[in-house]
Structure 1
Amino acid sequence: MTRHIYRCPLRWSDMDAFGHVNNAVFVRYLEEARIDFMFRLAPGDGSPSFKGGSVVARHEIDYKRPLVHRHEPVIIESWVTRIGAASLTIAYEVKEPGEGGLVYVRASTVVVPYDLAEGRPRRITAEEKSFLREYLDDGSRAGQERAAA
């Protein structure tokens, strides 16, 4: 399974009165990583995949530890945990660079492709599914490894 890596800069304005990155700012960090994943890495030259629009149906965020502002970016790893007919789930870890880096946030987002011209959700295309499968980790391998142990 491949993970998408996004280097997210921290901004001075991200800090709250307690001296760490505000919890609401993490939603913006996840958005930046998701846009980088879905739009800049969309399959094919000139492909309309994912560019027609999408909406967020759900966010789930677990804050693991405070992130203090600094000049170095954090890493946001993202991958796909579910591909449905008309939605997908993206998982994230916001963490320190390097193998075994401290994790600040674990999160997931349910995304629904949306036809902006028609004003309604749409199905995921075959091209989009092919792209998403490269990043798919639905946990079944981890379950198989635990069962074998």
Structure 2
Amino acid sequence: MEQFIQQHSIITEIPVAWGEMDALNHVNNVVYFRYFETARIDFFSQINMMDDLAKTSIGPVLSETHARYKRPVTFPDTLLVSVSISDIQQDRFVMHYRIFSKAQQAVTTTGTANVVMFNFKTGQKATLTPELLDALKQHAEPSE
């Protein structure tokens, strides 16, 4: 777990709720997208993207999201969800998620999201500001 924490600059801790389990006694596949969303919003808040959205009406929208389930998660457990960034372009970037189970001491799920900047006033794509671009680059995966 310490290695996982050291490798990721932004981690969101999420307790598994009993109600997230399905009839097969593991966390339902849909719930992982909520975990990703929680980590995504936490990440955006930490880099001030949500403040910028409130001021400019320009913010992120998802164009695609994906999950890969490696191990089932059950209650009780606490998950650490990391976020990193790649493929930064003028108006978009890719977010990578890794979910680490404290109970299993292993990564249980990985995922990605393609994020496009959007102007909610005009209904058109928007470009990344220089400040946001710098913030994203600080959390870019090593291959960037």
Distance 1:122 1:36 in 2: 22
Shift of 1:47: 5.1
RMSD value, Cα: 2.5
- The residue that corresponds to 1:119 in the other structure is 123
Q: TM-score, normalised by structure 1?
A: 0.81
Q: TM-score, normalised by structure 2?
A: 0.84
1:32 aligns with 2:38: yes
Q: How many residues align?
A: 136
Moved over 2 A (4+): 49-53
1:67 to 73, 92, 102: 73
Q: Which has the higher helix share?
A: 2
Deviations 1:33-80 (A, max 9, x none): 000001x21249x9516873321011121100100111x420001110
Percent identity of equivalent pairs: 25
Shift of 1:87: 0.5
Q: Where in structure 1 are there 5+ consecutive unaligned residues? A: 141-149
Query: Aligned residue for 2:134?
Result: 130
* 1:41 paired residue among 7, 21, 46: 46
- Residues 4-61 of structure 1: CA distance to partner in whole angstroms, max 9, x if unpaired? 10001222221100111001110111001000001x21249x9516873321011121
User: What is the CA-CA distance between 1:3 and the residue it aligns to?
Assistant: 2.7
SS at match of 1:48: helix
Alignment of 1:130-149 (within 5 A): 130-139=134-143
